A and B are shown apart, each in its own frame.
Chain A
Amino acid sequence: MKRVTLALTLALAAGLSAQAADAQTLKTVKDRGMLSCGVSQGLPGFSSPDDKGNWTGLDVDVCKAIAGAIFNDATKVKYVPLSAKDRFTALQSGEIDVLSRNTTWTISRDTSLGANFTGVTYYDGQGFMVKKSLKVNSALELNSASVCVQTGTTTEQNLADYFKANNMKYEVIAFGTNDETVKAYEAGRCDVFTTDQSGLYANRLKLANPNDHMVLPEIISKEPLGPMVRHGDDQWFDIVKWTLFAMVTAEELGVSSKNVDEKAKLENPELKRVLGTDGNFGEQLGLTKDWVVRIVKAVGNYGEVFDRNVGAGSPLAINRGLNNLWNKGGLQYAPPIR
């Protein structure tokens, strides 16, 4: 139903407005006093609500960082939970300002949806989870298995490619939401549950006996996850892109939510530029001079965000791996702020 409504909204918006792609997102957000942020319907570590309705997670912190940069108040976010298949329509129709929902960056999504990826918040890859009792140690032993997957994801196509490339048969059962998929896997409808590896670890926590299940070692795809914004508003694109870069830069310079005020007082030229006591980069973005300070105060630097949500400080306990800084063996790299 929601899909139909969204499609109709999109059709009407596209049909009736003379200029749908106004370069006005920042102004709209400021006038509304809220950032409208598309998130998942519940994926621990990335975006999930607690029992009081407070959202937490890596993707949620991206929303909070943007709200922090604009309003200096990380709570001014309206979270819109979206299923995998509704997410792009919600962005196209203008229901949300930014889509921060563990979305894989691919060329077709970047070019045909009228939207742009602003960067990579998490380098992921698709994996498989099975019950330990099956005594399977490799994805290559999965011939003739039944596989549960969430519909409308890159996962579904990678799965088809992987089994075809390895000349294996399988049966796919595709569900509309993540929870339905996990439930069917737990009920024994399928042997294998597949999604991005971070998602496997996150979903394993939802199972009754997490220790009865294991994640197979194979990674069968590249899944760079990142936020998306609509085409046609370069200023907004820059704001979201540089919010991510600011978080990474802050970690690189050792600026964290605990020491940001002290660091701002130091006479280090790079720190002064980044933290806004020198130069006006923030204003050029359409924000304020102290935008990085605001972001770091709202959510912390990238390392803090990672640890708190998916890393060592969280139940998921995922290694930094590819998501470490470029100078520590990972891929997270930000262009210089100067």
Chain B
Amino acid sequence: MSTEARKPPPQIALKIRRVLGGKAGWNGVAVQFAFAAILGWIGYEIVSNARANLENQHIAAGFGFLRNNAGFDVNQTLISYTGSDTFLRVFVVGLLNTLVVSVVGIVFATLIGFIVALCRLSPNWLLSRVGEIYVELIRNLPLLFQILFWYLAVLAALPNPRQSISLLGVAFISNRGLVIPSPVGGSGLEPFLAMLALGIVASLALRFYARRALFQEGRMIRIWPTVLGLLFGLPLATMLVSGLPFTFQLPQLKGFNFAGGSRIIPEFVALTLALSTYTAAFIAEIVRAGILSVHKGQMEAGASLGLSRGTTLRLIVVPQAMRVIVPPLTNQYLNLTKNSSLAVAIGYPDLVSVFAGTSLSQTGQAIEIIAMTMGIYLLISLLTSAVMSVYGWRVSRSLGA
């Protein structure tokens, strides 16, 4: 028979006293509650007073406008949208446009940033000078100028649609953007997708198994030929059986513009270019700082084990550097997302342009629209921070720090 320790009595009340009241005890708690109540009251007064005053001035208020028809068009929509859709849909369209430019920008900025950082750290004189010039040039010029530069430079260099540059007769570049053939689903689409999914799942399972074998039993299993077979062979074989999964619809010049195919608008290209090259300059410095923060003995240890410079960096230095890199990198990701609102200068239809711009002046409901826009930017930023925190926590944990 075992004796269990008696559970301590619940101490919720004491905890509250300690957390809220501090040294002042219950008086402190009372003061805190009074303070919160006063803040709440002030907030309530501001909102109700604003509502009353807006009503007195016959300024429309409330969120009812979201259900009204927008009546204007947008030139890049990831979901279907026409002028007779609602303002709420405009909001979603703008939000998606902001997200897509941010995500693509973040991916490219990270890639370019890492490459430039490695250039700067390279023992090769030319490479390191090129990296240095890149960083010093890009981060010292205002972003708005860079966006306008890319936009006007890209536009000026490109011909009009009738003289567009043809890439093998299937894709066309002009000052209306890049037009590429768009896939149209055929009879074999479903089996093709099913087999592709199966291939991906099987490859992941195989990788998991191989890593376990490596770490727990020290066995190296060569899996890449099997993975290639799963990812490419399987879908190809299905294609032979059940026919082509999709055919391509070729763009054709009709009247002023190309009909058919998918199009990437030049505003998107210019904005992504500007945002990713600009942010990459900062990311490069962050990465360089992170790598330099790892003691050079680590590099020497790697070399003495016979690892190449690249392998040492990849396996030893970068994982340790990540701990230093991740927090400021998060800041840069947040900056990039927020900077994407400069899109309005070149007519890219992001959230600020179509919602806080056009919708605002069509409805005149500045308070509601600006509040919604600020709220969603806050939400995006907090989510990005949260994801990066989780990543940073995993990096630290895997290093046993």
Residues of A within 8 A of B (CB): 3-4, 6-8, 10-11, 14-21, 84-85, 87-89, 92, 108-109, 111-114, 134, 142-146, 148, 151-153, 156-157, 159-161, 164, 170-176, 180-181, 183-184, 187-189, 191, 230-232
In the bound complex, residues from chain A placing their C-beta under 8 Å from that of B385 are: none
A151 x B73 contact (CB < 8 A): no
In the bound complex, residues from chain B placing their C-beta under 8 Å from that of A175 are: 344-347
Interchain CA distance A231-B59 in the complex, whole Å? 9
Interchain CA distance A174-B367 in the complex, whole Å? 23
Looking at the complex, which one of A113, A151, A187, A230 makes contact with B156 (CB distance below 8 Å)?
Answer: A187
A176 x B357 contact (CB < 8 A): yes
- A141's nearest neighbour on chain B, judged by CB, is B255
Given the known inter-chain contacts A145-B256, A172-B72, A172-B73, please indicate yes or no for A10 contacting B366, CB distance below 8 A. Answer: yes
Shortest Cβ distance from B325 into chain A, in angstroms? 31
Given the known inter-chain contacts A174-B353, A180-B347, please indicate yes or no for A146 contacting B58, CB distance below 8 A. Answer: no
B257 x A144 contact (CB < 8 A): yes
B367 x A88 contact (CB < 8 A): no
**Count of A-B contacts with CB under 8 A?**
169
Stretch of B30-38, B49-57, B217-225, B295-303 that contacts chain A: B49-57
In the bound complex, residues from chain A placing their C-beta under 8 Å from that of B358 are: 85, 151-152, 156, 174
B360 x A85 contact (CB < 8 A): yes
Shortest Cβ distance from B205 into chain A, in angstroms? 46
Looking at the complex, which one of A6, A108, A176, A189 makes contact with B353 (CB distance below 8 Å)?
Answer: A176
Interchain CA distance A112-B65 in the complex, whole Å? 11
In the bound complex, residues from chain B placing their C-beta under 8 Å from that of A11 are: 50, 367
In the bound complex, residues from chain A placing their C-beta under 8 Å from that of B349 are: 174
Can you list 10 A-B pairs with a CB-CB distance of less than 8 A?
A14-B53, A21-B57, A92-B366, A143-B255, A144-B256, A156-B362, A170-B73, A172-B73, A180-B346, A187-B155
B175 x A188 contact (CB < 8 A): yes
Q: Check if B381 is an interface residue, CB within 8 A of chain A.
A: no
Q: Check if B361 is an interface residue, CB within 8 A of chain A.
A: yes
Contact with A along B352-372 (1 / 0, CB 8 A): 011011101111101100100
B347 x A145 contact (CB < 8 A): no
Contact with A along B74-100 (1 / 0, CB 8 A): 110000000100000000000000000
A160 x B72 contact (CB < 8 A): yes
Contact with A along B132-157 (1 / 0, CB 8 A): 00000000000000000000100110
In the bound complex, residues from chain B placing their C-beta under 8 Å from that of A159 are: 72-73
Looking at the complex, which one of B75, B160, B344, B370 makes contact with A171 (CB distance below 8 Å)?
Answer: B75
- A156's nearest neighbour on chain B, judged by CB, is B72
Of the listed residues B53, B346, B361, the one surrounded by the most CB atoms of chain A closer than 10 A to its CB is B361
Q: Check if B199 is an interface residue, CB within 8 A of chain A.
A: no
Q: Check if B176 is an interface residue, CB within 8 A of chain A.
A: yes
Given the known inter-chain contacts A85-B361, A146-B257, please indicate yes or no for A173 contacting B152, CB distance below 8 A. Answer: no
A7 x B73 contact (CB < 8 A): no
- A172's nearest neighbour on chain B, judged by CB, is B73
Looking at the complex, which one of B46, B58, B361 makes contact with A231 (CB distance below 8 Å)?
Answer: B58
In the bound complex, residues from chain A placing their C-beta under 8 Å from that of B346 are: 175, 180, 184
Looking at the complex, which one of B46, B255, B266, B345 makes contact with A189 (CB distance below 8 Å)?
Answer: B266
B370 x A160 contact (CB < 8 A): no
In the bound complex, residues from chain B placing their C-beta under 8 Å from that of A156 are: 72-73, 358, 362
Interchain CA distance A108-B365 in the complex, whole Å? 12
